[in-house]
A = this chain, B = another copy of it.
Amino acid sequence: MKKAVVLLSGGLDSATALASAKVRQFACYALSLDYGQRHRAELQAAQNVAQALGVAAHHIIRLDLAAFGGSALTDTGIAVPVDGASTGIPATYVPARNTVMLSLALAWAEALGSRDIFIGVNAVDYSGYPDCRPEYIKAFETMANLATKAGIEGEKFTVHAPLMYLSKHEIIKAGLDLGVDYSLTVSCYQADEHGRACGVCDSCRIRQAGFVAAKKKDPTRYMSVQ
């Protein structure tokens, strides 16, 4: 079996990306980043998802991005927007987070002899982060093939973004077809330590709307009744 490194945050999208890699017959090496995020419950969710979907290995790498600051997700002094009315790039943007995570995935992939990386980014129902766009993923792939021993020896890394052009409800339907148990996933930016969601941050709003549009039961556990 070919090996793939799959970035697994513990949220809905990355769980679906993992299921997508599995159905393509990859042996999956899941990589999660403990970067000082306030919603640490997603790391437990990542472990639960990795176990449920059956990965070859799961690494949680510690890296203190909170030391750099600049994001509501790593700095408790910056509030997570909850009014659903943001324009532009929101305060939850973490500078260069996907670049750091893809770089780590690339490092692991090359060491494993894998040439395939999966990331659950999406440019349809998303929060407007620059590092979720197709042109960004393409540029990372180009850079990766110049960066690595494998790349200059003529082998090619592929960064798969299987959810890129799907709407949230299409992602949910695809994931359910692939057997993803979304009750294990945590999308909320300010989930409590039990993984219960706030229901009002951008990530919760997009997720909720996705289950409604997919006409599927929303298995999310909320802090209080919505």
Residues of A within 8 A of B (CB): 59, 61-65, 67-71, 89, 93-100, 102-104, 106-112, 130-131, 133, 135-136, 139-140, 142-144, 146-149, 151-152
Is A147 in contact with B70, judged by CB distance below 8 angstroms?
A: no
A68 and B111 in contact, given A96-B103, A144-B99 (Cβ under 8 angstroms): yes
- Bound together, the chains give a CA A112 to CA B96 distance in angstroms of 12
Is A69 in contact with B99, judged by CB distance below 8 angstroms?
A: no
- Bound together, the chains give a CA A70 to CA B113 distance in angstroms of 9
Is A107 in contact with B68, judged by CB distance below 8 angstroms?
A: yes
Set of chain B residues within 8 Å of A97, measured between Cβ atoms: 107
Is B100 in contact with A96, judged by CB distance below 8 angstroms?
A: no
The contact of A110 among B70, B133, B147, by CB within 8 Å, is B70
- Bound together, the chains give a CA A103 to CA B136 distance in angstroms of 14
Is A100 in contact with B107, judged by CB distance below 8 angstroms?
A: yes
Q: Which chain B residue shows the least CB distance to A143?
A: B139
Is B62 in contact with A64, judged by CB distance below 8 angstroms?
A: yes
The contact of A131 among B89, B109, B147, by CB within 8 Å, is B147
Is A143 in contact with B107, judged by CB distance below 8 angstroms?
A: no
Is B63 in contact with A59, judged by CB distance below 8 angstroms?
A: no
Nearest Cβ distance between residue A71 and chain B, in whole angstroms? 8
Residue among A130, A142, A144, A151 having the largest count of chain B Cβ atoms under 10 Å: A130
- Bound together, the chains give a CA A153 to CA B207 distance in angstroms of 27
The contact of A111 among B69, B107, B111, by CB within 8 Å, is B69
